[in-house]
Amino acid sequence: MNTVSGTRPMGQESSVADQAADSASNMIRSTQSATNSAFDRLSEKVEDVRSHAAPVIDRLTSQAESAARRSLDAVRDTSAQVREKALRASDMTVGYIKDEPMKAMLIAAATGAVLMALLSLMGRARDR
């Protein structure tokens, strides 16, 4: 009988090597199967999260657009109100000047004098 290293017959060593190779192949297939299964579960979870997140993102986008529209409308309304008030004030000023031309001229002269005094004081304070 042929022996390798003096303890086992040659056929047995070949058989042990074949069993080890088969065992390693089985472990590799088992690991691949477990990995594929884990990736499938992960993929399902990612898809589940994506399907739940999409409506939330859509709703938040819609709410942001709505808030932006409301803000823009409020700015337009406020701008229109300010414009109206400015026109009314201008009309009232013109009416006052027509009704009281002397008073209006005195008020304008006094206002101009006060503004000139303030500018003069500010200029001196800056020079110091």
Is the residue at 3 inside a domain? no
Of the candidates 19, 41, 22, the one whose C-alpha atom is nearest the C-alpha of residue 30 is 22
Is the residue at 4 inside a domain? no
Identify the residue with better confidence: 11 or 106: 106
∠ CA(8), CA(13), CA(18), 5° rounding? 160
Q: Provide the residue range defining the domain that includes 28.
A: 9-127
| pLDDT above 60: residue 34 | yes
Going by pLDDT thresholds of 50, 70 and 90, the confidence category of residue 10 is low
Going by pLDDT thresholds of 50, 70 and 90, the confidence category of residue 117 is very high
Is the residue at 107 inside a domain? yes
The confidence score (pLDDT) of residue 4 equals 47
Is the residue at 53 inside a domain? yes
Q: Which of these ranges, 13-27, 63-77, 101-115, has the smallest mean pLDDT?
A: 13-27
Beta strands in 26-122 (DSSP E): none
Q: Cα–Cα distance between 113 and 107 in angstroms, integer? A: 10
Whether residue 29 contacts residue 36, with contact meaning beta carbons closer than 8 Å, is answered with no
The confidence score (pLDDT) of residue 12 equals 66
Q: What are phi and psi of 48, to 5 degrees?
A: -65, -45
For the chain, what is the domain count? Answer: 1
Q: Which residues contact 96 (CB under 8 A, 6 or more apart)?
A: 103, 104
Is the residue at 2 inside a domain? no
Q: What is the mean pLDDT of residues 89-96?
A: 92
- Tokens representing 82 are 């300010």
